[in-house]
Chain A
């Protein structure tokens, strides 16, 4: 290895010859070129059902015909079995906090979210997997793993075909779930594959 590890490699150490036409010009180190990408999102059948039900304040999951596991939001497939899901399951809008984080930095796309705020893995009653959601109407430092929560829906006149219809999850005041291990979720709704 070279004696000075930060010295340029020999092949790159020589002087750069600048064409006469641009000699003396200020070297350009970078240019900023903003880019944009607009697209139409096609959610597919499973997510279309889920998003349409959301507009009516209902939460649809889908069940795996092999393992019995229930997925929400549904993608139409069961990751472990490698099969398409077998049927639709309507889920309650209640569940618990599997784990959480208290974010103290702003997020670019959500100027409405004022730090600190609590985001959490929410596991709905009867579901085998969790998803990320906001925990609201409680100081973040009082949120607990296992805390029972329910959905806080947007006003009816603001409902869309979007998961954003649920503005957050608030404590129900029920006793906490006992969280022992991750495997427990594999047993929800079916047997461990």
Chain B
């Protein structure tokens, strides 16, 4: 029996900001959830189940927050399910939500990812002391910058490619009203001159710390057909994970990333990835991950991803494969929502509902998320037409 065709009919996002002191955690989630329900022309009573994701509970210090949030999310007396795959969780949560409809367990699912970093201390939560390892990493940048240095060494990429990505994403964020960072006057030179935090990663090449939530409403085929608003059809979903330490592990392009990409493109029947995808929302918390993922996802051959960046191929303005038209993680990073934002922005592109950062005529888009020590992956491909 084939899987049920699944449609996204609602997307809701909060304004992302360093601190949303005007709302509680529950209030933050309701803002995104109600926007998604409004776009979907649905109410809580239409929702069969809620699938929720966030990064580790240590962040806000609220254990199993999905229990306390069930009432705020209209889930009293309904199934609510928590997904947890570190930084990729927003993407994994959307994949699980889609599976609930694809398997015909539910006909209408609300899925939501969130983080309230202003009420947490991510660096503390991510560096708990362990007696078998010395504590030398100042946050995620300390972990990822050696991997970026290896990429630079292996490909001979020019030193300022990362700055080009950061400047592009911050420019594109100006077209997205929900983006956290709106740096209107940011010049390329300012990006280059910003201080090195984790050499070779500059301050302007890192993501901000954000509060925010993102929600989607997913429905079955009949409901998608009957919906008179914009619809994005799910053409494929894939998740993979691997150990972050084994001999021969390619840390620049981990096997789990390549296998996850192969799976999702095969499901969507896509052969020429660069030609057949119109927009990409990929998880780029540090600028150099754009060329690295371009290669790992098969949009560029090994060692050539940086050339796509340099040529402008990934820019909304004039590129053939626009990447992170929303501004990406580099412009908004509520961690547990960041993956879902990628998936939701991909859906908005094929709905033709992305507003100022719309890619003209986008028919198929990729949403991508990764997490942990680049070891958890979630991806989906959505299209304007049915799969």
Task: List A residues at the B interface (Cβ < 8 Å).
Answer: 1-2, 5-6, 8-12, 29-30, 33, 35, 41, 43, 47, 50-51, 67, 69-71, 73, 78-80, 98-110, 113, 116-117, 119-121, 128-129, 131-134, 140, 145, 161-164, 166, 179, 181-190, 192
* Contact in complex: A182, B197 (CB < 8 Å): no
Known: A29-B21, A189-B247. A6 touches B177 (CB 8 A): yes
CA A181 – CA B154 in complex, angstroms?
A: 8
Contacts of B245 in A (CB 8 A): 71, 79, 129
A6 to B249, CA, bound (A): 44
Q: Are B250 and A183 in contact (CB under 8 A)?
A: yes
Q: By DSSP majority rule, is chain A's interface helix, strand, loop, or mixed?
A: loop
- Residues on the B chain within 8 Å of A131, using CB: 133
Which residues of B lie under 8 Å from residue A164 when comparing CB positions? 131, 134
State the CA gap A41–B133 with chains docked (Å).
13
Whole-angstrom CA separation of A51 from B250 in the bound complex? 28
State whether A101 and B248 are in contact (beta carbons under 8 Å apart), knowing that A9-B38, A113-B136 are contacts in the complex.
no
Interface-side segment among B119-127, B180-188, B271-279: B119-127
Residues of A within 8 A of B134 (CB): 132-134, 163-164, 166
Additional A-B contacts beyond A5-B178, A99-B153, A103-B141 (6; CB < 8 A): A2-B38, A104-B198, A120-B146, A145-B153, A163-B134, A179-B153
Residues of A within 8 A of B177 (CB): 5-6
Contacts of B146 in A (CB 8 A): 98-101, 119-121
Question: Nearest A residue to B250 by beta-carbon distance?
Answer: A182
Q: How far apart are B15's CB and chain A's nearest CB, in angstroms?
A: 6
The 7 A-B pairs at the shortest CB distance, nearest first, are namely A186-B248, A128-B247, A79-B243, A9-B34, A99-B146, A102-B199, A101-B145
List B residues at the A interface (Cβ < 8 Å). 12, 15, 21-22, 27, 30-31, 34-35, 37-39, 61, 119, 123-124, 127, 129-139, 141-143, 145-147, 149-150, 153-154, 177-178, 195-201, 242-243, 245-252, 353, 355
Q: List 8 A-B contacts (CB under 8 A).
A: A9-B30, A98-B150, A101-B149, A101-B198, A106-B138, A113-B136, A120-B146, A192-B248
A30, B31: Cβ atoms under 8 Å?
A: no
- B-chain residues with CB within 8 Å of residue A78 when the two chains form the complex: 246
Chain A: which residue is nearest B118 at the CB level?
A: A30
Taking CB atoms, residues of chain B closer than 8 Å to A107 are 127, 135-138, 142
Selected contact of B198 from candidates A1, A102, A145, A186, CB within 8 Å: A102
Choice from A11, A51, A73, A182 contacting B248 with Cβ under 8 Å: A182
Question: How far does the alpha carbon of A109 sit from the alpha carbon of B135 in the complex, in Å?
Answer: 8
Residues in A whose Cβ lies below 8 Å from that of B138: 103, 105-107
Q: Enumerate chain B residues within 8 angstroms of A30, measured Cβ to Cβ.
A: 21, 119
**B197→A6 contact, CB < 8 A:** no
Q: Are A119 and B133 in contact (CB-based, < 8 A)?
A: no
Question: Which residue of chain B lies nearest to A41 when distances are taken between CB atoms in the complex?
Answer: B131
Q: How far apart sit A2 and B353, CA to CA, in the bound complex (Å)?
A: 11
Determine which of B141, B143, B198, B248 lies in contact with A183 in the assembled complex, contact meaning CB atoms within 8 Å: B248
Which residue on B lies nearest to A121, using beta carbons? B146
- Give bound CA distance, A108 to B242, whole Å: 29
Partner among A43, A104, A108 whose Cβ is within 8 Å of the Cβ of B124: A108
Choose one: A69, A71, A108; the contact of B123 (CB below 8 Å): A108
Assess the A103–B198 pair: CB atoms within 8 A. Answer: yes
Q: From residue B211, how far is it (CB to closest CB) to chain A in Å?
A: 12
Q: A100–B139 Cα gap in the complex (Å)? A: 15
A11 neighbours in B (Cβ, 8 Å): 34, 37-38
Bound-complex Cα distance A79 to B244 (A): 9
CA distance A5 to B175 in the complex (A): 12
CB closest chain-B residue, reference A117: B136
Given A105-B138, A132-B136, check contact A12 B243 (CB 8 Å). no
| Min CB–CB distance A65 → chain B (angstroms) | 14
B149 cross-chain contacts in A, Cβ below 8 A? 99-101, 145
Q: Does A101 lie within 8 Å of B247, measured CB to CB?
A: no
Residues of B within 8 Å of A113, CB to CB, are: 136
Q: How far is the CA of A133 from the CA of B133 in the complex (A)?
A: 8
- A104's partner among B197, B248, B251 (CB-CB below 8 A) is B197
Nearest-neighbor residue (CB-CB) of B251 within chain A:
A182
Give A98 to B137 CA distance when docked, in angstroms: 16
CA distance A104 to B201 in the complex (A): 10
Q: Which residue of B lies closest to A106 (CB)?
A: B138
A120 to B197, CA, bound (A): 15
Min CB–CB distance B105 → chain A (angstroms): 27
Q: Are B196 and A102 in contact (CB under 8 A)?
A: yes
A79 lies within 8 A of B246 (CB): yes
- Cα A98 to Cα B199 in complex, Å, equals 15
